[in-house]
Amino acid sequence: MKPLGLLALPILFPPMASAASYPDPSPQQLGVVMADIPQPAPKGVPSEKPKASSPQASACPGSDALFLPTGLSFPALLPNAVYSFNMIAPAIAEIEDDVKFRGRVVLPRGTRLIGSASTLHTLDRVNITWQLAVLPAGCEFAFDGLSLSADDGSAGIKGEVQTHKGSVAAQVALKSALNVAGAAAAAAAPVEGALASGLTAQASQGLDETMTKVDNLESIYIHERTEIRVLVLRRFTRAPEEP
């Protein structure tokens, strides 16, 4: 028998698509493709290097003006003695060095802070608040600040506790405190102030009757040229001085 030969089977290929079957790309598609491919710079024109993205500088409203943020503290000096006894005493602080923020002088040397020492004190400390800043040139700006101890930064200024014996001194002190409280209430609200004034008068009359039971009263004395720190309670802003 003769060996069987291989059968030749026809191989079928898919029909080839004509060139007309593929449409030409649109100019928009070519632009997108070409934009993704870096193009060489023309001769004689230096190629531009990609610029590094710089971080956006943080800024706060009013950053062009001179300001001190809330919570900042700076040193100052009490040129005069402060006596916390029977009335709200005025107080003055002097700034001996420029107070700067962001490299700009906000409160120049020689600026004075005007405030008041409260009749209420804690142990051996006097509470002094500041309401006004007066620049050396005479410009005045509202200022909201609180005095801190220069030693440890705690609230209040340490002073010397003094005891006043005798009912006369104590009576004068307590009566003055009552009168100040009544005047402050009357200035805040007329109706409530009138009621407070009446109660103050009754308290003063009762004080005259029972004053003999009071033996002594304590006050606090702060010596002149005492170093303190001033805490900014509210953002202080001012315009630059004109040259």
Q: What is the CATH number of the domain that holds 114?
A: 2.40.128.260
pLDDT score recorded for residue 26: 59
pLDDT digits (tens, 9 = 90+) for 191-212: 444 444 554 455 555 555 544 4
- Let me know whether 240 and 203 are in one domain: no
pLDDT score recorded for residue 92: 96
- Let me know whether 142 and 231 are in one domain: yes
Distance CA 81, CA 148 (A): 16
- Let me know whether 151 and 181 are in one domain: no
Specify if 12 maps to a domain. no
pLDDT score recorded for residue 178: 53
pLDDT score recorded for residue 220: 85
Strands 125-134 and 140-149: antiparallel
pLDDT score recorded for residue 119: 67
Task: Give yes or no for a contact between 77 and 93, defined as CB atoms under 8 angstroms apart.
Answer: yes
Residue range of the domain that includes 153: 67-159+222-243
Specify if 204 maps to a domain. yes
pTM of the predicted protein model: 0.56
Task: Give yes or no for a contact between 196 and 178, defined as CB atoms under 8 angstroms apart.
Answer: no
pLDDT digits (tens, 9 = 90+) for 150-175: 999 998 998 888 876 654 555 555 55
- Let me know whether 75 and 120 are in one domain: yes
pLDDT score recorded for residue 240: 80
- Let me know whether 154 and 210 are in one domain: no
For 171, the token pair is 């009576």
- How far is C-alpha 70 from the chain's CA centre? 1
pLDDT score recorded for residue 94: 98
pLDDT score recorded for residue 83: 83
- Let me know whether 110 and 179 are in one domain: no
Number of domains comprising the chain: 2
- Let me know whether 155 and 184 are in one domain: no
- Let me know whether 229 and 123 are in one domain: yes
- Let me know whether 143 and 239 are in one domain: yes
Which amino acid belongs to residue 28? Q
State the number of CA atoms in the 13 A half-sphere of 149 facing the CB.
Answer: 12
pLDDT score recorded for residue 161: 85
For 19, the token pair is 């060139």
List the chain residues with pLDDT less than 70.
1-63, 86, 119-122, 164-216, 242-243
